[in-house]
Amino acid sequence: MPEAPSSAPDRRQAQEDRDYTLSGASRRSLGAGVMDHAAPQIDMRALRLYRLGRVQQELRRHDVDAILLVDPVLIRYATGIRNMQPWAMHSAIRTAFIPAEGKAIAFEYGGSEHLAAGLETVAEARTAIYRFARGDFGANAAQQEMTRRWAQTMRDLLPKRHGGRPRLAIDRHLDYFAGLALADAGVEVVSGARMMSHAQSVKSAEEIACISAAMAVADAALFRMRTAIEPGRTEIDLWAILEQTNVEMGGEYMDTRLLSSGARTNPWYQEATERRVRPGEMISIDTDMIGPFGYDADISRSFLCPPNRATGEQRRLYRMAWDQLHHNLDLVKPGASFRAMSDNAFPVPEEFRANTISMTWHGVGLYGQWPTIVARGHFATGAEDGEVVPGMVLCCESYIGRAGGLEGVKLEQQVLVTDTGYELLSTFPFEDTLLGREI
C-alpha cells in the first residue's frame, strides 16, 4: 500500500536523484539538424539495415519465405520509406514485399516511387498494383480480375518450394479478399503480426538516439503547454501547443488527443474538446507524439490550473498515481516475466479499481507496440507471457481516479531496459505542489 503522506518529500528526493542518474540516454539526445535522410550524427544506414535484419530474422525463424506489409508504419520500419504516413493509414494502396533474404520490393503510390531511391534496403520500387476497381469496392468481375493479377504478381516473387506451397506472411491490414486471392494463387498465407511485433521489440543504438530526439521535443512541448495553462483556455488550445511544437521541431503527427480537464479527467481516455479550463482544476495529458524520425514519445503528466492551490484530495490522487508509477517502474528488470510483473504490480485500492486502466506497461517504437503487460488481477488465462530483455523500450502507465469521483491523475514514463534495470528516456519533472503535504 502507498506510504503515509508525511514520507513523501524524502522518498521523492531519493527517487528524483535515482531518476537523474538513469537518464543518460535521454540527455544525449541530438539537435534539430539531425534528419533521417541525411544525418552524420546518426548512422541511418545502420538503423535501416538493423530493422530490415530484425524482420528477416523473424521470417527465417518461422520458416516463412517473405512478408507482405500494408501498414505504413511497418513498411517504414522494414524499408525506411516514409510516404504520406497518415494518409496511408486509411489506404491500402502501398505495400512492401520483404523476402527472408535480400532486399525489399516496394509497391508505391504512382508518382512517388522515387522516395525509395538510394535506400540500401530496397531492391526496386514499382507502381502499386490496385487490387480493386477504382470507385467500386464491390465484389464485381473487374475487381476480382485485378485482385487475381495482383496475387499472381506476389506469387511470382516467392521462391519455389519442393513438396509444398511458398509461405507468405501478411500483416493485419491486408484485406480478406486479397488473402483469399493469394491462397487461390497457390500461396500458404500465415499471420505476420507477431513476427513484426517481436522484430520491433529490441532497439538498436541508432533507434535509441532517434527516440531520445523525439523525447526532447515532447519535453519542450510539455513545458510550453504547462506554461500556457490559465483559466479560460480550452482543452483544444492546450493540445494544439503540443501539435505545433512537434511540427516546428521536426516531428510528424499526434497519435491521439488525450488531453482532458476537470471532471473529464475521470475516467481516463477522453480526448480534447472546446471545454474551458477553470481555476483549481486538474489537467491530464498523454503525449502520444510521433516525433522526429517517426518515433513515439509517449509520456503522461497531470497539472493544476492556477491560481488556486491544490486540495487535499488532488494531492492524494497525485501522490497515489506517483507511488503506483514508481512501484511498477521498479519491476522493470531484464529477465522479468510479464506474468510476474502483472502479479506484483501496484495494488490499487478498491475505491479506485473500477476506473483503473488495465495496461500498465507497453512497448513503444514507431508507435505503441508489443508487449502489452497488464495490471495486477488482469492477467487472464490465455494472456501472452514473455520476458523483458535489454534493448526493449517500455512505457509504464499510471492512472488513479475514484469511481464516481470528480477528477483523476495520469502519469507515465518511457524507459530503456538495460542489462541491470532501466534507464529513463523521459526527463520532464513531476509537480512539487501536488506531491507535498495535504492542505
Same domain, 116 and 230: no
d(CA 207, CA 416): 11
d(CA 85, CA 68): 17
Backbone torsions φ then ψ of 424, nearest 5 degrees: -65, 135
Tell whether omega for the bond before 267 is within 30 degrees of 0, i.e. cis.
yes
Cα separation values, 431 from 70, 93, 211, 291, Å: 42, 46, 24, 24
Check residue 340 and give its pLDDT. 96
Please report whether residue 38 resides in a domain.
no
CATH number at residue 336: 3.90.230.10
Same domain, 219 and 268: yes
Three-class secondary structure of residue 38 per DSSP: strand
Among 200, 231, 255, residue at a domain's last position: 200
d(CA 330, CA 310): 28
Same domain, 176 and 221: no
Same domain, 212 and 279: yes
Same domain, 344 and 423: yes
Please report whether residue 39 resides in a domain.
no
d(CA 360, CA 187): 39
What confidence tens digit (pLDDT) does each residue in 388-405 have?
999 999 999 999 999 999
Same domain, 213 and 124: no
Check residue 86 and give its pLDDT. 87
Same domain, 172 and 143: yes
What is the DSSP secondary-structure string of 377-404?
Answer: T---TTPPP-B--TTBEEEEEEEEE-TT
d(CA 37, CA 100): 25
Of the candidates 347, 240, 255, the residue with the CA atom closest to the CA atom of residue 299: 255
Same domain, 301 and 336: yes
Q: Which three cell numbers stand for residue 181?
A: 486471392
What confidence tens digit (pLDDT) does each residue in 117-126 have?
999 999 999 9
CA atoms within 13 A on the CB side of 424: 23
Check residue 266 and give its pLDDT. 98
- 112-148 per-residue burial string, b: 16 or more CB within 10 A, e: under 16: bbebbeebebbeebeebeebbbeeeeeeeeebeebbe
- 260-299 per-residue burial string, b: 16 or more CB within 10 A, e: under 16: bbbebbbbbebebeebebeebbbbbbbbbbbbbbbbbbbb
Q: Which three cell numbers stand for residue 387?
A: 520476458
Same domain, 191 and 216: no
Please report whether residue 72 resides in a domain.
yes
d(CA 116, CA 412): 36
Q: Are 347 and 382 in contact (CB under 8 A)?
A: no
d(CA 124, CA 111): 14
Check residue 134 and give its pLDDT. 47
Contacts of 427 (CB under 8 A, 6+ apart): 19, 23, 26, 27, 215, 219
Please report whether residue 36 resides in a domain.
no
Place of cell 494531492: 315
Please report whether residue 330 resides in a domain.
yes
Same domain, 206 and 162: no
Please report whether residue 37 resides in a domain.
no
d(CA 344, CA 369): 22
Three-class secondary structure of residue 226 per DSSP: helix
**Number of domains, the chain:** 2
Among 200, 228, 261, residue at a domain's last position: 200
Check residue 342 and give its pLDDT. 96
Note down the domain range covering 105.
44-200
Q: Are 365 and 203 in contact (CB under 8 A)?
A: yes
- 240-252 per-residue burial string, b: 16 or more CB within 10 A, e: under 16: bbbbebbeebbbb
What is the block-wise mean pLDDT of the chain (439 residues), using blocks of 10 residues? 51 66 63 53 92 98 97 97 89 93 96 94 93 55 85 95 90 89 96 97 97 96 98 98 97 97 98 98 98 97 96 97 98 97 97 95 97 90 86 98 96 97 95 76
H-run or E-run covering 59: helix 44-61
CATH number at residue 111: 3.40.350.10
Among 167, 200, 233, residue at a domain's last position: 200
d(CA 358, CA 375): 5
Backbone torsions φ then ψ of 104, nearest 5 degrees: -80, 160
d(CA 353, CA 112): 50
